Amino acid sequence: MARKFFVGGNFKMNGTLSSIKEIVENLNKSELDSNVEVVISPPSLYLLPTREHLRKEIEVAAQNVFDKPNGAFTGEISVSQLKDSNITWTILGHSERRTILGESDEVVSTKTKYATDNGLGVIWCCGESLEEREAGNTISVITKQLDSLKSKNPDWSKIVIAYEPIWAIGTGKVATTQQAQDVHKAIRDWLKGVSDKVSDETRILYGGSVNESNCGELSKQPDIDGFLVGGASLKPAFVKIINCHQ
């Protein structure tokens, strides 16, 4: 089965009402490859206006979600609140939340299980630090993150995996196509341990300094099914990344 190419834009903690309005207007008027699934993820404050004004074929994602239905959890947002606002995806386990906010594998896996069981799509992120790569531990680090997720038995049909080497995020230092493909292949092989169907159908995105110049080559790799784009998703060239896959 051909996997539909997927391009996510992670705005992180960037943007204002007016700059996000500009991004939305640019996406609304651009010609976009209809074979590509596009999801953008503004900061939580801007989720609703983004959803309201963005063309309907593009979905909107939160950057985080909590694993309880409601209650005394100051600062958190629930899955049902997102769905109530027509926000159909969330990012979980981004390395910035793992390292800066201290989210463990256990926390990320639990939230992913809760979100997928309750019908939200999850862009689930994994990746190694430069130290871990240089020590030859890339695959073992990612396997540990994946094993933790598998132990919760999430709904894999709702998960898109984003491989984001931490050393490539926001640094301009993109992984080589071979480095990316090798890890994506290892993830694909690991997914076979869940089931052949999950391995065949799960999209594996690459993230880390993706731009309009490097996306073409990366997109040709057999196990790269799309991108999770940070900085370049805030620029008009994001459209070129969406359309880069031939």
* Nearest CB to ligand 13P, comparing residues 10 and 64: 10
Work out the burial of residue 185: count CB atoms within 10 Å of its CB; fewer than 13 is exposed, 13-18 middle, 19 or more buried: middle
Instruction: Report in angstroms how near the CB of residue 225 gets to ligand 13P at its nearest.
Output: 15
* Nearest CB to ligand 13P, comparing residues 7 and 146: 7
> Catalytic residue among 37, 59, 103, 164, which?
164
* Nearest CB to ligand 13P, comparing residues 149 and 232: 232
Instruction: Report in angstroms how near the CB of residue 174 gets to ligand 13P at its nearest.
Output: 8
Distance, CA of 112 to CA of 230 (rounded, Å): 21
> Catalytic residue among 94, 128, 184, 212, which?
94
Binding site for ligand 13P (CB under 6 A): 10, 94, 164, 169-170, 207-210, 228-232
94 flagged as catalytic = yes
Nearest CA to 41 out of 23, 28, 18, 25 is that of 23
184 flagged as catalytic = no
Main-chain phi, psi angles of 186, to 5 degrees: -65, -40
Instruction: Report in angstroms how near the CB of residue 215 gets to ligand 13P at its nearest.
Output: 11
Nearest CA to 87 out of 76, 77, 75 is that of 77
Distance, CA of 215 to CA of 51 (rounded, Å): 26
Q: Catalytic positions, please?
A: 94, 164
